[in-house]
């Protein structure tokens, strides 16, 4: 199981377009399961994937706009199921009275605002966490009467909201409570984790680890979800930029954030997706592959994860490759 929270808010050379040794890092950043490491994702053909809401809510939720929690959750899931270039099949299941993540059965993917056994005291700024269960061996039970067919198959995911964080269901963010956050933004981010995505270091992406007020996906989010659940043929054709990041002494850089940013005003998705850079992290051999790029002209930048996104925000990535942390002892360069 892995938890993914959402919070309030030396020189190198870059060889773009040249893939050197090893398998490239993935565009965007999925969660990984070892051995492999393998990208975590659901098999929508194995069993119906549903979300199950416990509709109970505390005084920390402002629903005075008339928009219910269920309305917000459905809109947030719709954001991902309607993403271009991807096929995502998740529907609403029956509501549930389960109020503890520890007692959530395998056939329920719990959405809970009042869960009593989730400890948010370690970081009071955490707005929500997603706890996913994946198979680490072929043949493991899925809890749905079948067996896992690949390592990294997600078989259960629960989204738990901090009962001490004030949230509003108002689509414009209006709230009568203090220090209020937009529920749809938080929910959309957590559903990205539910589907197998880790945090992104692209500031304007939904999967950036600090809360904002984003209800629509960015190019980076679309690249990530289409990597896990590709649509064939895609709605918008895309390509890949590959390369390697090394220090001037020739050593490879692990965990450099490499991103492609358009230098034109082109809109590949007819305005339905916010235009953002698309990024990835380098693998231990310094290689990267930025996938999901619409046809355009790009500047490629490599930077260390030394803030605002840091190693703690992507801690599962170095672990997946047997590393203790990403490298940050270098300066930003672009090509």
Q: What is the pLDDT of residue 20?
A: 26
Residues 6 or more apart in contact with residue 268 via CB below 8 angstroms: 219, 236, 294, 295, 296
Token pair recorded at residue 109: 């993917």
Instruction: Compute the radius of gyration of the chain from its Cα atoms.
Output: 20
Taking the chain (335 residues) in runs of 10, the rounded mean pLDDT of each run is 44 31 51 86 97 95 94 98 98 96 94 88 82 94 95 96 94 90 95 95 92 89 97 97 94 96 94 94 96 96 92 89 93 78
Q: What is the pLDDT of residue 213?
A: 81
The CATH number of the domain covering residues in 50-217: 3.40.390.10
Q: What CA–CA distances, in Å, run from 116 to 54, 58, 98, 257?
A: 12, 12, 10, 37
Q: What is the pLDDT of residue 206?
A: 95
Token pair recorded at residue 185: 């933004």
Task: Give domain limits for the chain.
Answer: 10-38+225-334, 50-217
Q: What is the pLDDT of residue 27?
A: 52
Q: What is the pLDDT of residue 212?
A: 76
This prediction's pTM: 0.91
Q: What is the pLDDT of residue 85?
A: 98
Instruction: Measure CA 210 to chain center.
Output: 12
- State the burial class of residue 105 (Cβ atoms within 10 Å of its Cβ: 0-12, 13-18, 19+): exposed
Instruction: Measure CA 109 to chain center.
Output: 17
């Amino acid at each position: 199981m892995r938890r993914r929270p959402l919070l309030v808010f030396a020189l190198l050379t870059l060889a773009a377009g040249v893939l050197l040794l090893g398998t490239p890092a993935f565009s965007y950043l999925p969660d990984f399961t070892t051995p492999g490491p393998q990208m975590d994702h659901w098999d929508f053909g194995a069993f119906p994937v549903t979300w199950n809401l416990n509709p109970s809510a505390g005084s920390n939720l402002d629903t005075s706009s008339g928009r219910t929690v269920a309305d917000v959750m459905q809109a947030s899931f719709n954001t991902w199921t309607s993403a271009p270039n991807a096929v995502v099949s998740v529907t609403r299941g029956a509501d549930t009275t389960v109020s503890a993540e520890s007692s959530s059965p395998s056939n329920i993917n719990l959405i809970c605002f009042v869960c009593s056994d989730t400890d948010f005291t370690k970081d009071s700024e955490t707005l929500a966490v997603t706890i996913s269960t994946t198979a680490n061996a072929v043949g493991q039970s899925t809890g749905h009467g079948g067996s896992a067919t690949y390592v990294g198959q997600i078989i259960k995911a629960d989204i738990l909201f901090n009962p001490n964080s004030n949230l509003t269901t108002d689509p414009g963010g209006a709230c009568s409570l203090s220090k209020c956050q937009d529920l749809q933004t938080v929910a959309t981010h957590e559903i990205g984790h539910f589907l197998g995505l880790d945090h992104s270091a692209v500031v304007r992406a939904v999967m950036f680890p600090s809360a904002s007020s984003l209800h629509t996906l960015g190019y980076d989010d679309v690249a990530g979800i289409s990597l896990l659940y590709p649509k064939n043929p895609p709605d918008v054709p895309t390509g890949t930029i590959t390369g390697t990041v090394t220090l001037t002494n020739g050593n490879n850089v692990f965990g450099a954030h490499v991103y492609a940013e358009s230098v034109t005003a082109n809109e590949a998705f007819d305005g339905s997706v916010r235009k953002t850079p698309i990024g990835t992290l380098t693998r231990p051999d310094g290689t990267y592959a930025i996938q999901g790029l619409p046809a355009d002209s790009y500047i490629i930048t490599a930077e260390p994860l030394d803030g605002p996104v840091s190693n703690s925000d992507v801690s599962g990535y170095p672990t997946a490759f047997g590393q203790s942390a990403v490298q940050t002892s270098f300066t930003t360069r672009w090509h």
